[in-house]
Amino acid sequence: MSRSVLIAANWKLNPNTLKGSQELASGVSEGIKDKKSSKVEVAFCVPAIYLQAIESIIAKSPIKLGGQNLYFEEKGAFTGEISAPMLTDIGAKYVVLGHSERRTLFAETDELISKKAQVSLKHNLIPIVCVGETLEQREKNETDSVIISQLNKSLKSVETNGDNLVIAYEPVWAIGTGKTCSSEEANRVCGLIRQGLAKLYSKEIAEKVLILYGGSVKSNTIKEQMQQSEIDGALVGGASLIVDEFVQLVLNAG
Ligand code: 13P
């Protein structure tokens, strides 16, 4: 089966001005216009405060909008949070959930991520659920068990038809370090994730889910990564903040 390709930019806590975020979005949008392969979908997962401004810049383009987090309650007294219906209403298609930075810096658990994924799907948002092992876990040969455990627990009670779920494999030791996981190893783990999805759902559903690789993806790594059978795209941090670099990355992905 040939799946589509998703290149999702995760801007994290950047840029730190509205103007900077608008320049980044319009620069990329202009740069890939009429050039990118129709098979490649691009999404900007932006800080919540910029969602509306970025939505108006990309509204007439094929670029999709995504959030970086949400709270599992739909409304109420939860100061500082944003909800799934708010993200849907503003025009988001995706939401990144369970990023390793949220797991480690904000103590997010698999159980919490599962609740967030459930509410996302309820509101027609596609969760990009992140999993990944630390360097210590890799060195102890725990990679596969950690990935399967995170997958099973984060997707507990999450129902999907396969079209409305994205998984991102992001080895923690490869994030922002310049150390990319070899394409063969990334492919192996993405294959393991697909087997895990087949057990949780069905082989047919697992074949439909897009599995992204993330961790120091650059314009000069993406071609080889996209040649792997189990890698359907990338979740990109640092390289998504530089217009020319991200444009080139998207063009090389197709
Ligand atoms: P880098 O591309 O900066 O390594 O970040 C990866 C990431 O965490 C994307 O979510």
Q: Consecutive sets of 10 residues in the chain, 254 residues long: mean pLDDT of each? A: 92 98 98 94 98 97 98 98 98 98 97 98 98 96 98 98 98 89 97 98 98 97 97 98 98 96
Catalytic residue among 41, 99, 101, 230: 99
Tell me how many degrees the CA angle 66-58-162 measures, rounded to the nearest 5: 40
Q: Whose CA is nearest to atom 7 of ligand 1?
A: 237
Q: How many CB atoms lie within 10 A of CB 153?
A: 15
- Note if the bond before 47 is cis, omega within 30 degrees: no
Number of domains forming the structure of the chain: 1
Domain that holds residue 27: 5-253
Q: Does 176 contact ligand 1 (Cβ within 6 A)?
A: yes
Amino acid found at 163? D
Residue recorded with tokens 């708010």: 86
Q: Helix, strand, or coil here: 183?
A: helix
Residue labelled with tokens 């909008």: 65
Q: How far apart (Å, rounded) are the C-alpha atoms in residues 12 and 50?
A: 12
pLDDT, residue 180, reads: 78
pTM attached to this predicted model: 0.98
Identity of the amino acid at 183 = S
Q: What is the CATH number of the domain that holds 34?
A: 3.20.20.70
Distance from C-alpha of 239 to C-alpha of 212, rounded to nearest angstrom: 15
Active site annotation includes 73 = no
3-state DSSP call for residue 239? helix
Do the beta carbons of residue 217 and residue 171 sit within 8 Å?
no
CA dist., res. 174 & res. 176, Å (int): 6
Q: How many helices (H) and strands (E) does the chain have?
A: 11, 8
Contact call for residues 184 and 228 (beta carbons, < 8 A): yes
Q: Is the CB of 236 under 6 A from ligand 1?
A: yes
Measure the CA–CA gap between 199 and 161, rounded to whole angstroms.
14
- How many Å from the N-terminal Cα to the C-terminal Cα in the chain? 17
127 vs 161, 208, 232, CA distance in Å? 13, 14, 15
Whether 170 is catalytic is yes
* CB-based contact 114:156 (threshold 8 Å): yes
Q: Please indicate whether residue 240, judged by its CB atom, sits closer than 6 Å to ligand 1.
A: no
Q: Does residue 225 contact residue 234 with C-beta atoms inside 8 Å?
A: yes
The ligand 1 atom nearest the CA atom of 100: 8
With CA atoms as reference, report the closest residue to 70 among 84, 57, 59, 56. 84
Closest residue by CA, ligand 1 atom 2: 237
What does the pLDDT read at residue 16? 97
CB of residue 217 inside a 6 A radius of ligand 1: yes
Separation of alpha carbons 216 and 197, rounded Å:
25
* Tokens at 4, concatenated: 């589509």
What's the CA-to-centroid distance between 171 and ligand 1, angstroms?
A: 10
Instruction: Specify the pLDDT at position 179.
Output: 83
Q: Is 40 helix (H, G, I), strand (E, B) or coil?
A: strand
Q: If you measure from the C-alpha of residue 75 to the centroid of ligand 1, how many angstroms do you get, rounded to a whole number?
A: 30
